Amino acid sequence: MISVDQINKTFDQVKAVEDLSFKISQGEIVGLLGPNGAGKTTTMRIMSGFLAPDKGDVVVDGTSVVKDSIKVQAMLGYLPENNPMYMDMLVCDFLRFSGELRGLSKKSLAEGIDFAVKGVHLEDVFYRPIKELSKGFKQRVGIAAALLHKPKVLIMDEPTEGLDPIQRNEIRGLIKELAKEHTIIISTHVMQEVEAVCTRMIIIDKGKLVVDGSVQELSKGKGDQIIFNVVIEGKDVEKGLKSLPEAQIEIVSIEDEKVTAKVKTQKDNAIQGEISKMANDKKWVIWNISQEVRQLEDIFRELTSSETTV
């Protein structure tokens, strides 16, 4: 559906994006993550044809953004971070104006407005001035404008930035609804956003790809490493655990003969079987052995060089 191939962009000798490549399939909800200044917005502007790459290309459904950005833009809906709108306009007039700018025919515009208004639930504010709306509803209006031409792909830059918790939940729910019919790309630096709506995340830092994978995969460990939390009771448990091949042992606590520890190893290492076999041989009691699911925020900090709070 979308192929980003070795794109580069430099501003005043600062490399905003460097040799960035990834692919997105139809129907995915992808979180494009990174600390502030990582190159997320630049990447999205290149993907949507609003900014030309210095090198590389983006292909959307077989069309090159470098060779035919207008055709690519016709396939995309784009919600920029600042969501520019004419505040004195009524919602209905703004959507009509946005559709006319896209060159939609009278029939297509009427169908597009009906589709977008129902899709983002704007029926109750359709005839109200935009300036009277809450920020959450203003975001809905911006999303509706991006949906008027029924795009295959919807790109949103920080769609919940500045919203209160209730408004954030409303927009997240809306994104999930839209994902049934659209491929969605969301730029954010908020981990909770990704956990709430995304099926996959791409993390970039200083314009470079750091990691690409599903939320579930990344929550279980960095790279090829996994961590098991174990509670085992018996004689010489600590010594036995530390004899396990290709494993790092961190002792958390020892109470009498009950040892609580973290066992760090590689994903392809059958460490659970080794521990069970050792416990059986040594007559230990295994109270717990479970794979640790780590917080995405911790993984984010490990994978990026920024100390930005997320």
210 and 229 in a common domain: no
Apex CA 276: angle with CA 274 and CA 282, to 5°? 100
Q: 96 in the Ramachandran plot: left (φ > 0), alpha (ψ -120 to 50) or beta?
A: alpha
CA separation for the pair 195, 83 (Å, rounded): 24
257 and 282 in a common domain: yes
Q: 299 in a domain, yes or no?
A: no
142 and 30 in a common domain: yes
18 and 162 in a common domain: yes
Q: 127 in a domain, yes or no?
A: yes
Q: What domain range is 246 assigned to?
A: 225-292
The residue from 189, 219, 249 where one domain ends is 219
Work out the average pLDDT over 232-243.
Answer: 94
For 199-214, the pLDDT digits (tens) are 898 989 989 998 888 8
pLDDT classification of 160: cutoffs 50, 70, 90: confident
Question: Residue 168 is inside which H or E element, if any?
Answer: helix 165-178
Per-residue pLDDT at 195: 80
CB neighbours of 223 closer than 8 A, spacing ≥ 6?
Answer: none
Largest CA distance in the chain: 81
How many domains is the chain partitioned into structurally?
Answer: 2
Q: 304 in a domain, yes or no?
A: no
Query: Which two tokens mark 121?
Result: 């639930």
Per-residue pLDDT at 246: 84
Cβ atoms within 10 Å of 168's Cβ, excluding its own: 20
Q: Residue 305 pLDDT > 80, yes or no?
A: no
For the chain, give the percent of residues with pLDDT over 70: 92
Buried b (16+ CB within 10 A) or exposed e, 243-271: ebeebebeeeeeeeeebbbebbbeeebeb
Work out the average pLDDT over 1-29.
Answer: 93
Q: 136 in a domain, yes or no?
A: yes
260 and 188 in a common domain: no
Work out the average pLDDT over 230-248.
Answer: 93
E strands within the chain?
2-11, 14-24, 29-33, 55-60, 63-64, 76-79, 153-157, 183-188, 200-205, 208-214, 225-233, 248-255, 258-266, 285-291
pLDDT classification of 192: cutoffs 50, 70, 90: confident
From residue 14, alpha-carbon distances to 21, 36, 263 in Å are 19, 15, 42
287 and 235 in a common domain: yes
Q: Residue 176 pLDDT > 70, yes or no?
A: yes
DSSP secondary structure string for all residues of 257-282? TEEEEEEEEETT--HHHHHHHHHHHH
Query: Which two tokens mark 203?
Result: 């993390």
87 and 65 in a common domain: yes
Per-residue pLDDT at 310: 32
200 and 257 in a common domain: no
DSSP secondary structure string for all residues of 66-86? TT-HHHHHHHEEEE-TT----
Per-residue pLDDT at 306: 47
Buried b (16+ CB within 10 A) or exposed e, 55-70: ebebbbeebbbbeebe
Per-residue pLDDT at 296: 65
Q: Residue 53 pLDDT > 70, yes or no?
A: yes
For 253-301, the pLDDT digits (tens) are 999 999 999 998 876 568 888 999 999 999 999 999 988 766 666 667 7
Q: 283 in a domain, yes or no?
A: yes
105 and 47 in a common domain: yes
132 and 277 in a common domain: no
From residue 37, alpha-carbon distances to 40, 47, 106, 159 in Å are 7, 17, 41, 17
Q: Residues 199, 9: contact at Cβ < 8 Å? A: no
Per-residue pLDDT at 261: 95
270 and 146 in a common domain: no
CA separation for the pair 84, 118 (Å, rounded): 22
- Compute φ and ψ for 294, nearest 5 degrees: -90, 155
Residue with token string 């009277």? 132
CATH number at residue 236: 3.30.70.3190
Work out the average pLDDT over 141-150.
Answer: 93
198 and 67 in a common domain: yes
Q: Residue 232 pLDDT > 90, yes or no?
A: yes
For 78-119, the pLDDT digits (tens) are 998 888 899 999 999 999 999 999 999 999 999 999 999 998
First to last CA, the chain: 30
Per-residue pLDDT at 184: 93
pLDDT classification of 51: cutoffs 50, 70, 90: very high
CATH number at residue 180: 3.40.50.300
Per-residue pLDDT at 224: 61
